[in-house]
Amino acid sequence: MVATTDSSTGTSISIRADDEFPVNRGQMCIKGFNAHELIASPERLLNPLKRVDGQFVEIAWAQALDEIADKIKTIQTAHGRDAMSAFGSGALTNEKAYLLGKFARVALGTANIDYNGRYCMSSAAAGQNRAFGVDRGMPFPVEDIASTGCAMLWGSNLTDTLPPIMQYFDTLRARSGRVIVVDPRRTETARQADLHLQLTPGTDLLLANGLLHVAIDEQLIDLSYIESRTNDFAAIAAIALRSHPAYVERLTGVSLDQMRQAVRWLAETPSMILSGRGPEQQSKGADSVSALINLMLALGKVGKPFSGYGTLTGQGNGQGGREHGQKADQLVGYRLIENPVHRQQIAEFWGIDEADLPRKGKSAVELVDACGDDVRGMLVMGSNIAVATPGANNVKERLASLDLLVVCDSFMNDTAELAHYVLPTQQWAEEDGTVTNLEGRVIRRRRVIDPPASTRGDVEILCQLAVRLGMAEKFAFTTAESVFDEFRRATAGAPADYNGISYDKIDQHDGIFWPCPAADHPGTPRLFATEFAHPDARARFLAIDHRPAAEEPDDEYPIFFTTGRYREHYNSGAQTRKVDILVRSKPEPKAQLHPLLADQIGITDGERVVVESRRGRIVLVAHVTPEIRPDTIFAPFHWGGRQSANILTNPALDPTSRMPEFKICAVRVRQVDAT
């Protein structure tokens, strides 16, 4: 986007889409188009707040930082270093993500740091790492969508969640390419598709295995590709052959006819599967992603032109956010904290003893769950965990039981309300930095307006806290670029290698795709053409079979509940619910349900319904529409309080990715008045 300062006042900005930029090419979503409202919002926090006797009072920065540092020391002296924790975000720039990771491991010396990307990209990341040996959301640029033959959008409602990308699908269709959508809802994206597989929630993995069965049955698999570029096909083939269409139809609700059509289209031309959070946010999310990748490997598509598997990142820096060490098991450059070689490299780089580098810590849900027990303090940056975490009622209790909760944000939100200190930060147009987009393209974010003088950037806050914790020399950063320069060197030789990238180089080339190991390297827009990142350069099939969701509907809670986004809102809505036009367009969350279900409970469109799970209940206005399966209720997760969808959701975790099961739980629904 292009943001320009209003020259008359110098305090507000205007926004337009950048026609030249190769990703969105002149288009922008309504959230971006209105993001300027946030800069000048009257609700913006301008001074540090401290909670005193249940009320927030404004205090000076020095006092706030001194007190926070003292409390950190007190907690760590009494309960150990791991008692202090940090919680980051896929909305942070690469520089902040790196610095927060370094701050946690070096200044706090704690193992306990994780981030909200755990709720977002962790399953896709795990699936890709297992299959390809590397995780870059999309292994090709988005423009390749327009040139493929068939694009299968699996559990993604792009029209609402990434509208500027839809233009590539328009081009694809104009070229007579095909679009297949897999979604329990007939979303706008599904309506525009050539084929819509309206599957039962939680059966993505089985559907993918069923498609593989059909592909084998119809002899559409690419045996020479399987032979020359992959390992371990036989075991998944045996499972796929057991996934007989009759069994798959029963559980998925998708007819064999549609499966056959989908597989034929995928097989006959260049094709790609792009997954959204649908298959990923499940207690079998990583395995579901593996099932999608298995299918594309068997069809011989991965690494071929305009073909393969990719995942559509949600947050602005969903990709970069997971590469630079704010995840419990990772270090900068997508290194692994339990890998002895990686540990040694980074300990040396940071100038610390390898033994002092913490080990793998708790994942997001587990971290929040430990609050008040062995975790006593938390620093939150760029995330509204009180709304974003499943089993939200319990989460608030947990956060409230901390000895120290510090929230860095530009606005008050549900998490900040529970904090002991709230530190007012700077916004996107007020800071420099880089983000890595869904394609693995590293791009700039530029400062175009001066922030309010009383606010501070996250980089500055972390450095000043580090000084107070006695780590001044390791946090002597003055600019975002200086942080970038340190972390790009830290990634040299790592899986996500940024070493050859600089701010200047990004500016010259509309962004640089990693890996880019050297200053004279052009970057890597397309991966896997000749080799995968495993030591033997082959991709790996993973033998995974269907298993039920952690909580399936039963007599007591007979309906599936699933969550997702509105086009107008972002994450917990902490920012977008403050933008007038977005609120006017989508003022409240609605429970989407089918007329057949509405008939059963005796409600009509616009009436209020009580939706309850084993974990809590919410009251929402009903949106009665045939565009959802009759056995499923959908609600968006952007609201907090009594409208918080995550009061209902199930904190069951994926054993590999530690992703919570946002997409499936069991609920019951009734009229508000009925007893």
Partner 1 sequence: MAKKHLVIIGHGMAGSRLLDELQSRHAGTRYRITVYGEEPGAAYNRILLSKVLGGADPDTIRMKAETWHPGDDVTLVPRTRVDRIDSANRLLHLSDGSTEPYDIAIIATGSRPFIPKIEGSVLADSSPKPGVFAYRTLDDCLQMRSKLRPGDSAVVLGGGLLGLEAAKALADNGLHVTVCHLMPTLMETQLDETGGKMLQRQIEQQGIFVRCGRTIAAILGCNQVRGVRLDDGTELAADMVVLACGIRPRVDLAQASGIPVNRGVIVNDALATAVPGVYALGECAEHRGRVYGIVTPIWEQCEALADILCATGSARRYTGSKLYSRLKVAGVDVASMGVVKPELASDQTIQIFEEQRATYRKLILREGKLIGAQLVGDTAAAGQLVQLFDRNTTIPLNPLEALCAYSAAGGSTGAALDRQVCNCNTVNESAIVSAIKQGCVSVEAVGVCTRAGTGCGSCRSQIVGLIREHRPAAAATL
Residues lying near partner 1 in the complex (CB under 8 A) are found at 17, 26-30, 32-34, 159, 163-164, 166-167, 169-170, 186, 188, 191-192, 196, 198, 200, 216-217, 234-235, 237-238, 241-242, 244-247, 249-250, 252-258, 567-568, 581, 584-585, 594-596, 598-600, 603-606, 623-631
* Nearest residue to 212 (alpha-carbon basis) of 280, 292, 114: 292
Tell the smallest beta-carbon distance from residue 218 to partner 1 (Å). Answer: 11
Concatenating the DSSP letter of every residue in 612-641 gives EETTEEEEEEEEE-TTB-TTEEEEES---G
Tell the smallest beta-carbon distance from residue 567 to partner 1 (Å). Answer: 7
DSSP for residue 108: I
Tell the smallest beta-carbon distance from residue 241 to partner 1 (Å). Answer: 6
> d(Cα 187, Cα 168) in Å, to the nearest integer?
18
Tell the smallest beta-carbon distance from residue 603 to partner 1 (Å). Answer: 8
Tell the smallest beta-carbon distance from residue 334 to partner 1 (Å). Answer: 30
Angle at 87 between CA 84 and CA 88, to 5 degrees: 140
Burial of 72 (0-12, 13-18, 19+ CB in 10 A): buried
Tell the smallest beta-carbon distance from residue 215 to partner 1 (Å). Answer: 13
For partner 1, the closer of residues 228 and 255 by Cβ is 255
Q: What is the CA radius of gyration of the chain?
A: 24
Tell the smallest beta-carbon distance from residue 555 to partner 1 (Å). Answer: 11
Please, which contacts does 528-534 make with residues 24 or more away whose CB atoms are closer than 8 Å?
528/132, 528/139, 528/302, 528/303, 528/308, 529/303, 529/304, 530/303, 532/131, 532/132, 532/133, 532/134, 532/229, 532/303, 533/132, 533/133, 533/134, 533/495, 534/132, 534/133
> d(Cα 603, Cα 598) in Å, to the nearest integer?
5
For partner 1, the closer of residues 131 and 544 by Cβ is 544
Tell the smallest beta-carbon distance from residue 258 to partner 1 (Å). Answer: 7
* Nearest residue to 325 (alpha-carbon basis) of 617, 101, 625: 101
Tell the smallest beta-carbon distance from residue 307 to partner 1 (Å). Answer: 22
Question: Measuring CA to CA, how many Å separate 675 from each of 77, 594, 597, 610?
Answer: 52, 22, 18, 10
For partner 1, the closer of residues 363 and 592 by Cβ is 592
Contact between residue 297 and residue 230 where contact means Cβ atoms under 8 Å apart: yes
Beta bridge partner(s), residue 302? none
DSSP for residue 438: T
* Nearest residue to 121 (alpha-carbon basis) of 297, 273, 285: 285
Tell the smallest beta-carbon distance from residue 127 to partner 1 (Å). Answer: 20
> d(Cα 58, Cα 400) in Å, to the nearest integer?
20
- Cα 382 vs. chain centroid, distance in angstroms? 13
For partner 1, the closer of residues 40 and 621 by Cβ is 621
Tell the smallest beta-carbon distance from residue 629 to partner 1 (Å). Answer: 6
Tell the smallest beta-carbon distance from residue 425 to partner 1 (Å). Answer: 26
For partner 1, the closer of residues 10 and 26 by Cβ is 26
> d(Cα 146, Cα 143) in Å, to the nearest integer?
6
For partner 1, the closer of residues 66 and 188 by Cβ is 188
Tell the smallest beta-carbon distance from residue 376 to partner 1 (Å). Answer: 36
For partner 1, the closer of residues 481 and 607 by Cβ is 607
Contact between residue 133 and residue 293 where contact means Cβ atoms under 8 Å apart: no
Concatenating the DSSP letter of every residue in 364-391 gives HHHHHHHBTTTB-EEEEES--HHHHSSS
* Nearest residue to 494 (alpha-carbon basis) of 515, 476, 525, 518: 515
For partner 1, the closer of residues 159 and 650 by Cβ is 159
> d(Cα 254, Cα 231) in Å, to the nearest integer?
30
Tell the smallest beta-carbon distance from residue 36 to partner 1 (Å). Answer: 12
Please state the three-class secondary structure of 213-259 as a single string: HHHHHCCCCCHHHHHHHEECHHHHHHHHHHCCHHHHHHHHCCCHHHH
Which positions ≥6 away from 118 have C-beta within 8 Å? 327, 363, 364, 365, 657, 658, 659
3-class secondary-structure state, position 520: coil
